[in-house]
């Protein structure tokens, strides 16, 4: 069972074909199956993550991308938050510092890729360097065009060296973004999240959708696929992401290691 939409390599994938308001097989937020599904998957996720950490052989990198208000923080709180903080980390990428800008654009991302045994969630990522950078025209076109191949090669290298990579786009509609921005303005406990820059980015909505579409088409590979998660409904978004993480980790199939001591029955713990 899979809820997220996987972008097939070399496909003529169109973002507009995916319904941001999708709710899968569930009737709505209060469908008892929703809570059950999420609770089951969170429990599974906990067990799989512990095995990954104990095994210390493989790593998982999850790239999270979305438009502003798309729900990255919500996913991190509701799906990633319950996991054991030992072995699970979040790396957030803001506009690059002068030090970061003095390096190649993959430098800061590579530095935060997971160690063996760990899961790292990228809250924004190296993909901003073909998204916001493209929309705001921050580098020359020819230079930007070459980056898609770098991104694919970088991920292949990570995979060859033991790091599974999946990439998730939380897909919201323009109307839903308007609603969420308005909520941020109206609710004093959310107002701190509101930035005027978000309004400026919103003006580029169409250009961002095109930039996402091209990035997803050009960089979804069998080793490091992109998944589109319908995200207008926060509960469905969470269920989809949890399911995807479970399926990915089940496929990685981490195992508890045998232990370093040989036959444990030979060891006597002194009184
Ligand atoms: P937030 O996710 O709300 O904390 O915002 C982070 C901001 O950093 C967003 O406006 C991103 O567009 C911006 N950002 C992230 N990476 C880059 C990048 N490589 N170049 C320019 N801006 C970036
Ligand atoms: Mg923001």
CATH number at residue 245: 3.40.50.300
pLDDT for res 109: 98
Residue 198 lies in a domain: yes
Are 229 and 169 in contact, with CB atoms under 8 Å apart?
A: yes
> 93 in ligand 1 pocket by Cβ < 6 Å?
yes
Task: Work out how many domains the chain is built from and give that number.
Answer: 1
Write the residue with the smallest CA distance to atom 6 of ligand 1: 94
| pLDDT > 70? residue 176 | yes
User: What's residue 138's pLDDT?
Assistant: 97
202/196 Cα distance (integer angstroms): 10
The first and second tokens of residue 113, run together, are: 């890729």
Any domain includes 242? yes
Q: Which ligand is nearest to the CA of 190?
A: 2
For residue 165, being part of any structural domain is answered with: yes
| Distance of alpha carbon 30 from alpha carbon 188, whole angstroms | 27
Token duo for residue 19: 């319904």
What local confidence, expressed as pLDDT, does residue 11 receive?
Answer: 83
- Torsions phi, psi of 228, nearest 5? -105, 125
**CA–CA distance, 53 with 58 (Å, rounded to integer):** 9
pLDDT at 264 over 90: no
Residue 267 inside a domain? The answer is: no
Residue 225: inside a domain:
yes
Contact by Cβ (8 Å): 41, 244? no
Residue 261 pLDDT grade (very low, low, confident, very high; cuts 50, 70, 90): confident
Query: Checking DSSP bridges between strand 119-123 and strand 88-92, what pairing results, if any?
Result: parallel
* pLDDT score at 1: 58
Output the average pLDDT for the chain.
96
Please give the average per-residue pLDDT across 202-206, as a whole number. Answer: 98
For residue 264, tell me if it sits in a domain: no
Question: How many residues comprise the chain?
Answer: 271
Whether 259 maps to a domain, the answer reads no
DSSP string, the chain: ---SEEPPTT----GGGS-TT--TT--STT-HHHHHHHHHHHHHHHHHHHHHHHH-S-EEEEEEEESTTSSHHHHIIIIITTS-STTEEEEE--SPPHHHHTS-TTHHHHHTSPPTT-EEEEES-GGGGGTHHHHTT-S-HHHHHHHHHHHHHHHHHHHHTTEEEEEEEEE--HHHHHHHHHHHHH-TTTGGG--HHHHHHHHTHHHHHHHHHHHHHHH--SSS-EEEEE-SSHHHHHHHHHHHHHHHHHHH-------SSS-GGG-----
What is the best residue among 67, 70, 93 to mutate for testing ligand 1's pocket, by most ligand atoms within 8 Å of CB? Answer: 93
Which pLDDT does position 17 carry in this prediction? 95
Residues in contact with 177: Cβ distance below 8 Å, sequence separation at least 6, in sequence order:
67, 68, 69, 70, 202, 205
**CA nearest neighbour of 170 among 122, 102, 110:** 122
Atom in ligand 1 nearest the alpha carbon of residue 129: 19
pLDDT over 80 at 2, yes or no? no
- At 61, the pLDDT band (50, 70, 90 cuts) reads very high
- In this prediction, residue 259 has a pLDDT band, given cuts at 50, 70 and 90, of confident
pLDDT band at 157 (very low <50, low <70, confident <90, very high): very high
Q: Which residue has its alpha carbon closest to ligand 1 atom 5? A: 94
Residues 6+ apart with CB under 8 A from 95: none
In angstroms, the CA 107 to CA 153 distance is 14
120 pLDDT more than 90 = yes
Using a 6 Å cutoff on CB, does residue 148 contact ligand 1? no
Q: What percent of the chain has pLDDT over 90?
A: 94
Note the pLDDT of residue 240: 98
Domain that holds residue 62: 5-254
Residue 263 confidence (pLDDT): 84
Q: How far does residue 200's CA lie from ligand 1's centre (Å)?
A: 13
Q: Among the listed ranges 14-23, 115-124, 260-269, which one has the minimum average pLDDT value?
A: 260-269
24 contacts 235 by C-beta, under 8 angstroms: no
């Amino acid at each position: 069972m899979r809820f997220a939409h996987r972008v097939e390599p070399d496909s003529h994938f169109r973002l507009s074909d995916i319904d941001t308001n999708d709710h899968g097989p569930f009737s709505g937020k209060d469908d008892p199956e929703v809570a059950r599904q999420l609770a089951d998957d969170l429990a599974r996720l906990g067990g799989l993550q512990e095995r990954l950490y104990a095994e210390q052989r493989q790593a998982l990198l999850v790239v999270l991308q979305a438009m502003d208000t798309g729900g990255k923080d919500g996913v991190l709180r509701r799906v990633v938050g319950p996991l054991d903080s030992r072995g699970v980390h979040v790396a957030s990428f803001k506009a690059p510092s002068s030090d970061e800008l003095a390096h190649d654009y993959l430098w800061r991302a590579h530095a935060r890729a997971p160690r063996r045994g760990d899961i790292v969630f990228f809250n924004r990522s190296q993909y901003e360097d073909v998204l916001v950078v493209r929309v705001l025209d921050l580098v020359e076109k020819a230079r930007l065009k070459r980056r898609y191949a770098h991104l694919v090669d970088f991920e292949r290298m990570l995979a060859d060296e033991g790091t599974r990579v999946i990439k998730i786009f939380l897909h919201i509609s323009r109307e839903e973004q308007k609603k969420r921005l308005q909520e941020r303005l109206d609710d004093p406990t959310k107002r701190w999240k509101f930035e005027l820059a978000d309004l400026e980015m919103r003006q580029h909505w169409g250009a961002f959708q095109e930039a996402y579409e091209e990035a997803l088409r050009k960089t979804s590979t069998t080793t490091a696929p992109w998944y589109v998660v319908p995200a207008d409904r926060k509960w469905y978004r969470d269920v989809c992401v949890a399911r995807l993480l479970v399926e990915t980790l089940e496929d990685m199939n981490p195992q508890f290691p045998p232990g370093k001591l040989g036959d444990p029955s030979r060891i006597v713990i002194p009184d």
